[in-house]
């Protein structure tokens, strides 16, 4: 963890102290000098160590320079021109951890890349490289490049998500979808069949305040974090977590709304999703990975077939393309009212 030490200095003395700190190499030039008390005219000067004659404080809400300096600018002098072009252009910040995908041909540069990222984001303390996500449990494959802290708390949309980035996935995408879900469901009974660590369940519980959410998760590791996130966000009175396979533990005939936020084989669970809805009807949010030519005909057809089999009717309410999943394949969502 980087220390964020600072000293507090009256504005009238600040320039003199700043120059002394620069000359003695103890000014932390990555952080900005901040006014903290306009009344008493005090400045907070970031420092790299304790300074004799001043009390040391730990700076809250530090502001950093260099945030937007590009990785290319930082590494330009150390690497070849063709390598510059392959440097990662994006990464995810999850709490204090940076997750980055590195082109395999730059394997020999991964430490340099990780160091550059830490310089760009001084509040982070660990960098891991992303080697993909696999299997039904969505297990991430990740290599730690710098640091050893893989458990963190990510803040998103007013919610806290605790997780270990080497053990469970955290989808930083789908932001629009998560926001959408956080606005619906007030006073309803909801079943989240593929809850993960609470990606949809937590924002819904925090913002929409449903009557109840039953959140089902098969992976014990994710289920553990789901339970922690329910307490962290203080929504124990709304969310009941269940560890198990949703084809077996999804309740029947009680939900106003069912979330099916899973891809690849989601259609295998449509019967359970539809059976969870109240006999008078309800809404499902059905996710699927669909080949481009079958967007949205295949997911709609699958919902209609499953509803027909259950003797129920379908009204398609909305269809959304969330993101490209792989070449020629889209992650889509269909909202359908089933009666
Ligand atoms: C993609 S993740 C959660 C995604 C989240 N809704 C999002 O958009 O980021 C899907 C979760 O479903 C869980 N899962 C997979 N099959 C399941 C099943 N049959 N029953 C319950 N959970 C399941 C996985 O372990 C994983 O945590």
The CATH number of whichever domain residue 9 belongs to comes to: 3.30.70
pLDDT recorded at residue 121: 84
pLDDT recorded at residue 38: 64
Spacing, Cα 219 to ligand 1 middle (Å):
8
Ligand 1 binding pocket includes 199 (Cβ within 6 Å): yes
- Whether 41 and 80 map to the same domain: the answer is no
pLDDT recorded at residue 253: 98
pLDDT recorded at residue 100: 95
What is the distance of C-alpha 258 from the center of its chain? 22
Ligand 1 binding pocket includes 259 (Cβ within 6 Å): no
54 inside domain? yes
Spacing, Cα 262 to ligand 1 middle (Å):
5
18 inside domain? yes
Residue 142 is classified by DSSP as E
- Whether 253 and 119 map to the same domain: the answer is no
Nearest CA residue ID for atom 26, ligand 1: 196
The percent of residues above 70 in pLDDT, for the chain, comes to: 97
Instruction: Find out whether 192 and 213 touch, Cβ atoms under 8 Å.
Output: yes
Q: % helix / strand / coil in the chain, to the nearest 5? A: 30, 35, 35
Per-residue pLDDT of the chain (339 residues; tens, 9 = 90+): 456 899 999 988 998 898 888 877 788 877 889 888 767 688 999 988 888 889 999 888 787 776 556 788 889 888 998 999 999 977 888 999 999 999 999 999 999 999 999 988 888 999 999 998 888 888 899 999 999 899 999 988 899 999 999 999 887 777 789 889 999 999 999 999 999 999 999 999 999 999 999 999 999 999 999 999 999 999 999 999 999 999 999 999 999 999 999 999 999 999 999 999 999 999 999 999 999 999 999 999 999 999 999 999 999 999 999 988 999 999 999 999 999
- Whether 88 and 174 map to the same domain: the answer is no
pLDDT recorded at residue 1: 41
Ligand 1 atom nearest to CA at 171: 9
Query: What are phi and psi for residue 308, nearest 5 degrees?
Result: -60, -45
pLDDT recorded at residue 60: 81
pTM, two decimal places: 0.80
| Domain of residue 39, residue span | 5-58
Ligand 1 binding pocket includes 250 (Cβ within 6 Å): no
Instruction: Find out whether 99 and 165 touch, Cβ atoms under 8 Å.
Output: yes
Ligand 1 binding pocket includes 161 (Cβ within 6 Å): no
161 inside domain? no
Spacing, Cα 208 to ligand 1 middle (Å):
21
pLDDT recorded at residue 66: 60
Spacing, Cα 42 to ligand 1 middle (Å):
51
Spacing, Cα 282 to ligand 1 middle (Å):
21
- Whether 138 and 243 map to the same domain: the answer is no
The CATH number that applies at residue 78 is: 3.30.300.110
pLDDT recorded at residue 53: 86
Tally of domains within the chain: 3
Ligand 1 binding pocket includes 62 (Cβ within 6 Å): no
- Whether 242 and 130 map to the same domain: the answer is no
Instruction: Find out whether 175 and 151 touch, Cβ atoms under 8 Å.
Output: no
The CA–CA distances, whole Å, from 46 to 6, 26, 175, 284 equal 4, 9, 34, 52
């Amino acid at each position: 963890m980087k220390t964020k030490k600072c000293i507090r200095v009256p504005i009238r003395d600040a320039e003199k102290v700043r120059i002394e700190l620069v000359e003695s190499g103890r000014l932390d030039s990555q952080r900005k000098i901040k006014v903290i008390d306009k009344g008493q005219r005090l400045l907070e000067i970031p420092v790299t160590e304790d300074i004799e004659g001043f009390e040391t404080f730990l700076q809250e809400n530090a502001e950093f320079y260099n945030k937007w300096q590009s990785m290319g600018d930082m590494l330009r002098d150390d690497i070849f021109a063709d390598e510059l072009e392959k440097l990662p252009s994006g990464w995810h910040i999850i709490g204090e951890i940076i997750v980055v995908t590195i082109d395999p041909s730059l394997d020999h540069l991964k430490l340099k890349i990780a160091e550059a990222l830490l310089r760009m984001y001084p509040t982070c303390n660990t960098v891991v490289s992303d080697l993909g996500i696999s299997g039904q449990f969505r297990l991430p494959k990740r290599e730690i490049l710098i640091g050893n802290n893989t458990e963190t708390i990510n803040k998103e949309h007013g919610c806290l998500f605790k997780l270990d980035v080497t053990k469970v996935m955290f989808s930083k995408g789908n932001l629009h979808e998560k926001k959408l879900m956080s606005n619906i469901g007030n006073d309803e009974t909801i079943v989240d069949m593929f809850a993960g660590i609470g990606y949809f369940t937590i924002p819904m519980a925090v913002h929409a305040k449903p009557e109840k959410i039953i959140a089902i998760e098969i992976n014990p590791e994710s289920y553990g974090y789901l339970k922690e996130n329910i307490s962290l966000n203080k929504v124990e009175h709304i969310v009941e977590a269940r560890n198990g396979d949703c084809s077996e533990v999804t309740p029947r005939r009680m939900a106003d709304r069912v979330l099916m936020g899973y891809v690849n084989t989601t259609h295998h669970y449509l019967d359970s999703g539809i059976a969870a809805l109240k006999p008078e009807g309800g809404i499902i949010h059905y996710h699927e990975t669909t080949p481009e030519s079958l967007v949205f005909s295949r997911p709609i057809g699958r919902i209609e077939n499953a509803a027909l089999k259950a003797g129920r009717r379908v009204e398609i309410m909305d269809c959304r393309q969330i993101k490209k999943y792989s070449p020629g394949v889209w992650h889509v969502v269909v909202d359908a009212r089933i009666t």
